[in-house]
Structure 1
Amino acid sequence: MLTGRQRPMTEVAFLFAEIGTADGHQGIGFGYSKRAGGPAQFAHAAEVAPELIGEDPSDIGRLWTKLVWAGASVGRSGAATQAIAAVDVALWDLKAKRAGLPLAKLLGAHRDSVRCYDTSGGFLHEPVEQILENAGRNLAAGIGGIKIKVGHPEPGVDLVRVGKVREALGDTPLMVDANQQWDRPTARRVCRALDEFGLVWIEEPLDAYDCAGHARLAATLDTAVATGEMLTSVAEHRELIRHGAADVLQPDAPRIGGITQFLRLAALAEQEHLTLAPHFAMEIHLHLAAAYPHEPWVEHFDWLHPLFEERLEIRDGRMHLSDRPGLGITLTDQARHWTVQRADIRRTL
Structure 2
Amino acid sequence: MNTTPDSIRHVALSTVRLPLAVPISDAKVFTGRQKPMTEVIFLFAEITTEQGHEGLGFSYSKRAGGPAQYAHAREVAEGLIGHDPSDIAKIYTQLLWAGASVGRSGVATQALAAIDVALHDLKAKRAGLPLAKLLGSHRDSVRTYNTSGGFLNASIEEVKDNATRSLEAGIGGIKIKVGLPDTAEDLRRVAAVREHIGPDVPLMVDANQQWDRTTALRMGRALEEFDLTWIEEPLDAYDVEGHARLTRSLDTPIATGEMLASVAEHERLIDERACDIIQPDCPRVGGITQFTRLLTLADRAGLDLAPHFAMEIHLHLAATYPREPWVEHFDWLDPLFNETLETRDGRMILPERPGLGVTFSDQARAWTTDAVEFGIR
What displacement does 1:6 show? 2.3
Counterpart of 1:156 (choices 177, 180, 184) is 184
Tell me the SS of whatever aligns to 2:375. Answer: coil
Hey, what's the Cα distance between the residues in 2 that align with 1:184 and 1:125? Answer: 25
* Pair 1:265-2:294 in alignment: yes
CA RMSD of the aligned region, Å? 1.1
Report the Cα distance in structure 2 between the residues aligned to 1:168 and 1:335, rounded to whole angstroms. 36
In 1: Cα distance, 2:248 partner to 2:358 partner: 41
Q: Which residue of 1 aligns with 2:304?
A: 275
Counterpart residue type for residue 225 of structure 2 = E
Please give the per-residue CA displacement for 1:81-129, whole angstroms capped at 9, x wherever unaligned. 0000000000000000010100000000100000000000111122211
- 1:237 offset after TM fit, Å? 0.4
Deviations 1:32-67 (A, max 9, x none): 001211110001001111111111110111111111
Tell me which residue corresponds to 2:333. 304
- Identify which range, 113-122 or 162-171, moves more after superposition: 162-171
- Quick check: 1:209 aligned with 2:235? no
Q: Does 1:346 align with 2:375?
A: yes
Distance in 2 separating the partners of 1:81 and 1:136? 38
Partner of 2:169: 141
1:64 to 76, 86, 92: 92
- Residue 179 of structure 2: SS of its match in structure 1? coil
Query: What does residue 169 of structure 1 align with?
Result: 197
Distance 2:366 2:330 in 1: 22
TM-score normalised by L of structure 1? 0.98
> Structure 1 residue 30 and structure 2 residue 58: aligned?
yes
* 1:125 paired residue number: 153
Unaligned runs of 5+ in 2: 1-24
The answer as to whether partners of 1:54 and 1:347 remain within 8 angstroms in 2 is no
Amino acid aligned to 1:268: L
The structure where strand makes up a greater share of residues is 2
Counterparts of 1:312-327 in structure 2 under 5 Å?
312-327=341-356
Alpha-carbon distance in 1 for matches of 2:47, 2:360: 14
Distance in 1 of aligned mates of 2:351 and 2:66:
30
Deviations 1:202-238 (A, max 9, x none): 0000000000000000000000000000010000000
Q: Say whether 1:293 aligns with 2:322.
A: yes
Residue matched to 1:331: 360
Query: Match for residue 237 of structure 1?
Result: 266
Moved more, 217-226 or 5-14: 5-14
Q: Is 1:17–2:62 an aligned residue pair?
A: no
Number of residue-to-residue matches in the alignment: 348
Tell me which amino acid in the other structure corresponds to 1:106: L
Alignment deviations for residues 308-337 of structure 1 (CA, whole Å, 9 cap, x no partner): 000111100000011100001101111111
Q: Helix, strand or coil for the counterpart of 1:12?
A: strand
Conserved in 2, the CA contact under 8 Å of 1:10 and 1:35?
no
Q: Aligned equivalents of 1:124 and 1:11: distance in 2?
A: 17
Contact 1:102-1:323 at 8 Å conserved across structures: yes
Mapped to 2, the partners of 1:6 and 1:223 lie a distance apart of: 28
Identity within the alignment, %: 69
**Structure 1 consecutive aligned stretches of length 4 or more whose deviation exceeds 6 Å:** none
Distance 1:288 1:174 in 2: 23
Q: Which moves more between the two structures, 51-60 or 96-105? A: 51-60
| DSSP 3-state at the match of 1:10 | strand
* Amino acid of the structure 1 residue aligned with 2:35: R
Tell whether 2:279 aligns with 1:250.
yes
Match of 2:247 among 214, 218, 238: 218
